């Protein structure tokens, strides 16, 4: 079955860019939407945005100015970049398979903890 695995630095300095990749195994990125969600003690679960395999995106307005998502169909991966991070961006970041409303986020990665600190 489809499995997702997040990867990237666990520690990012304030004002720098957080970069994460989600690798899809047991299936293809093609044909699906792919979401990023984060979870921090202060804000609960927050949807960051999604990217369609074709490259079209939808971002949460609260983060839109700082977020870029991309997809690499040849490597079956998709990525998140969040620039100008602060301590408020410290969270567990999850990637998930999405269906843009027709069906919910049904497959999730295990999550990766990112701490923003100097």
Nearest CB to another protein, comparing residues 15 and 110 = 110
Q: Say whether 87 sits in a helix, a strand or coil.
A: helix
Q: Of 56, 88, 103, 115, which lies in the binding site for another protein, with binding defined by CB under 8 A?
A: 103
Give the helix, strand, coil percentages of the chain, each rounded to 5. Answer: 5, 55, 40
β-bridge partners, 107: 97
Residue 40 within binding range of another protein, rule CB under 8 A? no
CB of 82 to another protein, least distance (A): 15
Scan for tokens 């839109």, then name that residue. 64
Site for another protein in 60-79 (CB under 8 A): 60-62
* CA R_g for the chain: 13
Binding site for another protein (CB under 8 A): 35, 44-47, 49-50, 58, 60-62, 94, 96, 101, 103-106, 108-111
């Amino acid at each position: 079955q489809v499995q997702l695995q997040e990867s990237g630095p666990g520690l990012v300095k304030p004002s720098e860019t957080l970069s994460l990749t989600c690798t899809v195994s047991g299936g293809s990125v093609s044909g699906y939407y792919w979401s990023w969600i984060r979870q921090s003690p202060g804000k609960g679960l927050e949807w960051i945005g999604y990217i369609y395999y074709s490259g079209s995106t939808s971002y949460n307005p609260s983060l839109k100015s700082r977020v870029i998502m991309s997809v690499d169909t040849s490597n079956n991966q998709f990525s998140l970049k969040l620039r100008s991070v602060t301590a408020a961006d410290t969270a567990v970041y999850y990637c998930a398979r999405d269906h843009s409303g027709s069906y919910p986020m049904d497959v999730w990665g295990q999550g990766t903890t990112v701490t923003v600190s100097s």
